[in-house]
Amino acid sequence: MKYVLVTGGVVSGLGKGVTASSIGLLLQACGLRVTSIKIDPYLNTDAGTMSPFEHGEVFVLDDGGEVDLDLGNYERFLDSTLTRDNNLTTGKIYQAVIDKERKGDYLGRTVQVVPHITDAIQEWIERVANVPVDGKEGPPDVCVIELGGTIGDIESMPFIEALGQFSYKVGPGNFCLVHVSLVPFFVFFFSSSFISFQSPPRRRFLLLCAVLTLRAPLAHSPIRRSPLVAPTETPASVGIDPDPLAAEISVSDQTRAMSKARVYTDVNVVRSKDYWDYESLNVQWGEQDEYEVVRKVGRGKYSEVFEGFNVNTKEKCIVKILKPVKKKKIRREIKILQNLCGGTNIVKLFDVVRDEHSKTPSLIFEYVNSTDFKLLYPTLTDYDIRYYIFELLKALDYCHSQGIMHRDVKPHNVMIDHELRKLRLIDWGLAEFYHPGKEYNVRVASRYFKGPELLVDLQDYDYSLDMWSLGCMFAGMIFRKEPFFYGHDNQDQLVKIAKVLGTDDLNAYLDKYQLELEPQLEALVGRHSRKPWSKFINADNQHLVSPEAIDFLDKLLRYDHQDRLTAKEAMAHAYFSQVRAAETSRMRSQ
C-alpha cells in the first residue's frame, strides 16, 4: 500500500479536495486502484450538525454517513463508494481512545496525545486504507489522504505528528506529501517560453504542480523553507517536507465563468448516477437469430443500416449494425436510447443483439417508412414545414428535459413518414448527457450543421447546440437551399456563417466568452456586414417565407448559444400558432 498526503497552507478553501481527487484520478488512469480518506481536525464526530454556511452542504454517503463535501468529490472523480470511516475527525479519534480507556484497554496507563492519540490515528488510517471502495476484492493500491484546514493550525498538530510517524512506519518509498499553497505573482515576470497559452485563460485559477522531489522522507527531515509557501507556517516548519508542491496561482481577474444551459441545467445533477453512468452499463443482449435483414437502406461513419423484420412476429424493423468503435461509445448510445424510451417522436429501440462469433453489436429499431429528405423537402407546403419542425421540437424538448444533447441534428437523422405524418429523431450515436460545467468534445455534429461554439472551440456548450442545427435545417427548408451553410471544411464553415451573420456579432461573441481565433482562421473569416434574410428570398421560396418564419429563424441562428431559443420557447413562437391550434382542436375531438 502506498499513501499520498495532501495538505494546504495560507488559507482554507484553496482546492485541496479537488487536488486530492485529481491525483487519485491520475493514479487510476495509470491502472492503480485508489481509495481516499478525508481528515477534519474539528471535534465534531461528523458534519451532520455543522453550519452549511461555514462548511458547505453535508454530503450523505450510501451507509448514511454525513460527511464533508470533499468525499462527494472523491466519489465522483474516482467512481467509488466510500463509508463514514473514510471521514476521520478529531472527535472520532478522541471518542475511540476514551472508549478504550473506559474499558480498561490501556491497563491503567496515563492516556496522552503521544502515543495514544497518534497511534489511534495511524491505526484508523491503516485499517480504512485497506478496505476496497471500487466494488472489487482485495485492498487498493494507493490511499490519498487529505488533511483539512491549514498547516500550523493547533488542532491539526496531532495528525501532523501521527502522519510523520506513519511515513517512517511505511517507509519513504511508500509515502508522498503534496502541499497546496496560494502563490500571487505578476504575469509579466514570466516569459512566454515559461507559460504559454494557446487561447485566453479559461479559469479564475490555474493549478500549477511543481514537482520538487519524490524521494524525500515526510517527517524529521532537514527543515527547508520553500519560497513558494507562505506565510510563516509551512510543512517544513512543523517537521514535514513536501514532495510535490501544488500552487494555486491567480492568473487573471478577467477570465470568464463556465457557460451553463439556461434550461434543464441540473437534470443529471439531481438524478442518481445510475441514470447517466453509461460506462457501468451491463448490456443485456437479445437473440440475433430473431431478426433477418432484407436490404441496405443507409450507412454512416459508425454504422450500416438495413431494413429487416422479426422472424417471429414478421414485424418490420431497422437493423443498425455498428462498425468497430469503443465499447464506451456503444454503451452510451444504448443507455441514452433506453432512457429516452417512449419519449415524444424519439425512435424506439426494440432490442440490442450481438453476433455470437464476431461480437459485432446491432441495434434494432422501429421501422419508419420515410422518404429521402432530398425528394421530400421540395414538395413540402408552408404548413407542412411548420408541422414537422414543431414535431422535431417536441423530440428535442423531451431529450433536453431528460438531460441529453443529441449533437447531430440534421435532415439525415429526421425520419418522416409523410403519409402518416409521423416524424422520428434517430441516430443517437453522438448524443451525450449534459453536466453543467463539463467540457465536451467539439468534434461532433455534421459540418453543415455545426454550431459556432464547435467551430471556435468552446467546449462547455449545451442543449442550444441542437437548436443551431435545427435552425440550419429550417433555413434550408424555407429558402430551398440545402445545405444552407455550405462550407468545404470546418474553417470554411465558419467563414460561410460569418458572411451571413456578419463579423460584428462574431467578435462580440468571442469577446464575451474570452475566445480567440487562430490567426490563419481570423484572416480567412475577414470582415463582413450582416446580410438581411430577405436576400435569400426568391420566386421559388417566397411562399414559404413569412415574417414570423424570419423572426423564428433569426432567434435560432445566433452566434451566442445563450441567446438562442430553447426548444420549449421555440414551440411557443407565433410561427407555430396554426399548428398548436390544429393540435388543440384534434385533442378536443378525440
Catalytic positions are 408
Reduced DSSP (H G I as helix, E B as strand, rest coil) percent helix, strand, coil of the chain, to 5: 40, 15, 45
Give the DSSP per-residue string, 404-429.
EE----SGGGEEEETTTTEEEE---T
Judge whether 285 and 352 are in contact, CB under 8 Å. Answer: yes
DSSP-assigned states of every residue in 78-96: HT----GGGEEEHHHHHHH
Residue for grid cell 475577414? 526
Name the burial class of residue 485, with classes exposed (0-12), middle (13-18) and buried (19+) by CB atoms within 10 angstroms of its CB: buried
What the block records as the C-alpha cell of 520 is 490563419
C-alpha to C-alpha distance for 428 and 447, rounded to whole angstroms: 17
What is the grid cell recorded at 244? 510535490
Q: What span, in angstroms and rounded, lies between the C-alpha atoms of 63 and 133? A: 12
Give the Cα separation of 349 and 426 in Å (integer).
Answer: 10
Cβ atoms of 445 and 430 closer than 8 Å:
yes
Report yes or no: 26 and 164 within 8 Å, Cβ to Cβ: no
CB atoms under 10 Å from CB of 432, counted, come to 19
Q: Which residues of 238-247 are buried (b: 16+ CB within 10 A; e: fewer)?
A: bebbbbbbbb
Would you state the torsion angle of the CA atoms of residues 376, 381, 387, 390, taken in this order, to the nearest 10 degrees?
80
Q: What is the DSSP string of 243-302?
A: SEEEEEEE--SSPPPPP--SSSTTHHHHS-HHHH-GGG-----B-GGGEEEEEEEEE-SS
DSSP 48: T
Strands (DSSP E) contained in 348-400 are: 349-354, 361-366
Gyration radius of the chain over CA positions: 30
Is 314 annotated to bind a ligand? Reply is: no
Q: How far apart, in whole angstroms, are the C-alpha atoms of residue 390 and residue 567?
A: 9
Please measure the distance between the N-terminal and C-terminal CA atoms of the chain and give it in whole angstroms: 69
**Bridge partners, 146 (sequence order):** 6, 38
Quick one: three-class SS letters along 490-530?
Answer: HHHHHHHHHHHHCCHHHHHHHHHCCCCCCHHHHHHHCCCCC
Q: What is the DSSP letter of 438?
A: -
- The answer to whether residues 133 and 187 touch, using CB atoms and an 8 Å cutoff, is no
Yes or no: say if 567 and 393 are a contact pair by the CB < 8 Å rule: yes
Closest CA to 466 of 508, 408, 552: 408
CA distances from 67 to 74, 75, 142, 221, 426 (A): 12, 12, 21, 34, 43
**C-beta of residue 17 within 8 angstroms of C-beta of residue 70:** yes
Q: Which residues fall in the annotated binding site?
A: 320
Q: Which residues fall in the annotated binding site for ATP?
A: 320
